[in-house]
Amino acid sequence: MRVVLAEDLFLLRDGLVRLLEAYGFEIAAAVESGPELDRALAELRPDVAVVDVRLPPTHTDEGLQCALRARRDRPGLPVLVLSQHVEQLYARELLADGSGAVGYLLKDRVFDAEQFVDAVRRVAAGGTAMDPQVIQQLLSRRADDRPLGGLTPRELEVLELMAQGRSNAAIAGQLVVTERAIAKHTSNIFTKLGLEVSDDDNRRVLAVLAYLDRDR
């Protein structure tokens, strides 16, 4: 099983390489930055990627962003994320397509080699491996989401089409209205769901997640 590993701390990266090789994994690449990870995932097409959230050059969410880009280019690419904390927005986005093959583990809660290796294998096989604290925080965020009851029937229709992955232009074509009208509907949806403009939040993704969670 071929693995691309991304971790910027040398000692941890070297330790993960040795651990995975000891359990029979082939390390296709072990990289330390976002650009290197982008190239490795595109060129080597591994069976699974093990990715630290924070990588150079930004040291913010570079690893998760690389993983999301790779899964858009190669849907279903198995990705196991390692982090010191929960990046709620991108964790939710990683899970949003419903295709599985994702994991999110907190580094300080991985207690033994077997636990970690089992998570890598489970994700590579198309399953999920989520730390309970990650799930708890995601569910807590969902509990705070405002209900969809304030949306008009047309706004619900637009949101349903958004959840199907349609662009504003495609939605406008199906509903036989202008793109400007759809833009107004989407703006109203974001406002009613309490999704304010932010540099960190993908409001379209959060709105779709609110729709998908409506019956839970």
pLDDT tens for each residue of 16-36 = 999 999 999 999 999 999 999
Predicted pLDDT at 58? 87
- C-alpha distances in angstroms, 109 versus 17, 134, 178? 19, 11, 50
Predicted pLDDT at 200? 46
Phi-psi bin for 165: left (phi > 0), alpha (psi -120 to 50), beta?
left
What is the C-alpha separation between 183 and 159, in angstroms, rounded? 12
What is the C-alpha separation between 175 and 29, in angstroms, rounded? 47
In this prediction, the residues of the chain whose per-residue pLDDT falls under 50 are 143-145, 200-201
pTM assigned to the model: 0.65
Q: In the chain, pLDDT over 90 holds for what percent of residues?
A: 49
CB 99 within 8 A of CB 76: yes
Predicted pLDDT at 99? 67
Choose among 148, 142, 141: nearest CA to 162: 148
pLDDT digits (tens, 9 = 90+) for 168-183: 998 999 999 999 999 9
For residue 11, how far is the Cα from the chain centroid?
26
Predicted pLDDT at 79? 95
